[in-house]
Structure 1
Amino acid sequence: MAKKLSAGSIASLIGAAALIFASIKFPWWGMKFYAPQYMEGLDIIVYPSKLAGDIDIVNGLNHYIGMAPFSNESFPELQYLPGLIMGLAAIIIIVALVRKKSLLYVPPALLIVGGALGIYDMNRWLTKFGTELDPKAPIELEPFVPPIIGENILANFVTHSYFTTGSFLLGAGFLLTLLPFWLERRK
């Protein structure tokens, strides 16, 4: 007979699914730009389904260095990422309801693979936008790759890249998918 999950493990998985689902409504990543003329900073805020912040101003400034403008349409991932997240949350709930210990590896594995693909994709876009600069731009700069996390200095701009609320919810959800391994260790 297959071993069944305890109530604590089921609650942990349902909590993980709830946090992951809730992350859709919050920004996952951001970048803040500071310069003498923008002391309050300019923001790019990335939600799973859209970009927000001072996109038009940043695009106007990026024009001077030959960077392609970006918008929601620039990132096809924004069209399907919320559906993937809802699907992941549904899979976690199914694992909780089926209650088979053998399925406990599925949620964290999916989150690890999804997270790795997400980081790869972010780096791919940052590399594309920072290295494919128009050579006819008014200001000539060496190609660059902004960091996913941390500070970068470009001309008179200092940028800070960071994960935010939605990413923290994903991380907490991931930890809740690991908790059943500890809860079930004695059974």
Structure 2
Amino acid sequence: MSSKKMSLASAISISVAGVLLVASLFFPWWGMNFIAPQYPEGLDIVVYPNKLKGNIDIINGLNHYIGMKPISEKSIPELAYLPYVIGLMALFTFVVAFVRKKSWLYVLIAVFVIGGALGIYDIHRWLVDFGTNLDDNAPIKIEPFVPPIWGENRIANFITNSYFTTGSYIVGIAFLCLLFPLWKERKK
């Protein structure tokens, strides 16, 4: 591996990735929409890196009938520290842009890939936990279920649609900004 530094254009692309990571903190990353005959306008859970928004109280009231534990920011501890993890990743991204060494960029890309895989796993883990650990004494008995991370599902008379949203797309663009230097500086 050459000790030659990456170009200024590559450093700028990496810096843009850092800015995008910070910006992603202000947007939702994932959500779920619930539609039923009694809720044709739909109910939403919207997940930001540090908070939940949407119709959480109504959804918890309905989930109570099937024995699901309440969904809250306290029940998902990752929301308390995820902004710090993202902030540290952004800081490391800026350091890589400043140092401009390809070996550091490879480490940063690996951190992105591992972080993304862990994030997807974590969402799945929570969906499994909420959908399969149902109270046996619930008034309405349904089979345990696991909603998809992305896509449509039916739970009782509700159709759910899980989706990634703005913050996730911003992180995806940040990742592409990290790949740009590898493409730009490839050997001809």
TM-score, structure 1 normalization? 0.98
Which residue pairs with 1:162 in the alignment?
A: 163
Which residue pairs with 2:35 in the alignment?
A: 34
Which residue pairs with 1:65 in the alignment?
A: 66
1:24-62 CA distance string (max 9 Å, x none): 000000000000010000000000000000000000000
1:126-172 CA distance string (max 9 Å, x none): 00100000111010000000100000101110000000000000000
Deviation at 1:186, TM superposition (A): 3.7
Deviation at 1:185, TM superposition (A): 1.2
Deviation at 1:101, TM superposition (A): 2.0
**Residue 107 (structure 2) pairs with residue 109 (structure 1):** no
**SS of residue matched to 2:46:** strand
Which residues of 2 match residues 44-63 of structure 1 at below 5 A? 44-63=45-64
Runs of 4+ in 1 over 4 A off after TM superposition: none
**Pairwise CA RMSD:** 1.0
**SS of residue matched to 2:74:** helix
Which residue pairs with 1:153 in the alignment?
A: 154
2:29 partner letter: W
CA distance in structure 2 between the aligned counterparts of 1:112 and 1:133, rounded to whole angstroms? 33
**SS of residue matched to 2:25:** helix
CA distance in structure 1 between the aligned counterparts of 2:112 and 2:156, rounded to whole angstroms? 37
Structure 2: runs of 5 or more not aligned: none
Which residues of 2 match residues 124-139 of structure 1 at below 5 A? 124-139=125-140
TM-score, structure 2 normalization? 0.97
CA distance in structure 2 between the aligned counterparts of 1:22 and 1:2, rounded to whole angstroms? 32
**SS of residue matched to 1:151:** strand
- How many residues were matched structurally? 187
**SS of residue matched to 2:6:** coil
